A and B are shown apart, each in its own frame.
Chain A
Amino acid sequence: MDITEYIKLVFTDYTLRTITLGTAILGAVTGMLGSFAVLRKQSLLGDAISHAALPGIAISFLITGAKDSNVLLLGALVSGLIGTFWIRGIIKKTHLKSDTALGLILSLFFGFGMLLLTFIQKQPNANQAGLDKYLFGQAATLIESDVWLMAIVTGACLVVLLLFWKEFKILLFDADYTKTLGFNTKFIDILITTFIVLAIVLGLQTVGVVLMSAMLLAPAAAARQWTNSLGIMVFLAALFGAFSGVFGTAISASQNNLSTGPVIVIVASVFVLISFIFSPSRGLLFKQIRFIKNRRDLQLHKTLAFMHHIAKTHENISHPHTVKILNNFQGYTRSTLQKLVHKNYVRLDGNMWSLTEEGFKTASNLYNQQSDNNE
Chain B
Amino acid sequence: MNKLFCILIQLFLLSSLQARVLPVGKGKQFITIKTAITQARKGDTVMVYSGIYREKNIVLDKPITLIGIDYPVLDGEYRYEVISIKSSGVTVKGCKIIQSGISSMEDFAGIKIYNCRDVVIRENILENTFFGIYSQYGTNCTIEKNKLTASQKEEQQSGNGIHCWKSDSMRIIANEITGHRDGIYFEFVTNSIIWRNDSEKNLRYGLHFMFSSNDSYIANIFKNNGAGVSVMFSHDVKMIHNYFEENWGDGSYGILLKEISDGYIEHNRFVKNTVGIYMEGTSRIQMNGNVFERNGWAMKIQASCMDITVTGNNFINNTFDMATNGSLVLNTFNGNYWDKYEGYDLNRDHIGDVPYRPVSMYSVIVEKNPPVMILFRSFITSLLDKTEKVLPSLTPENFKDAFPLMKPLRL
Q: Do A and B come from one complex?
A: no
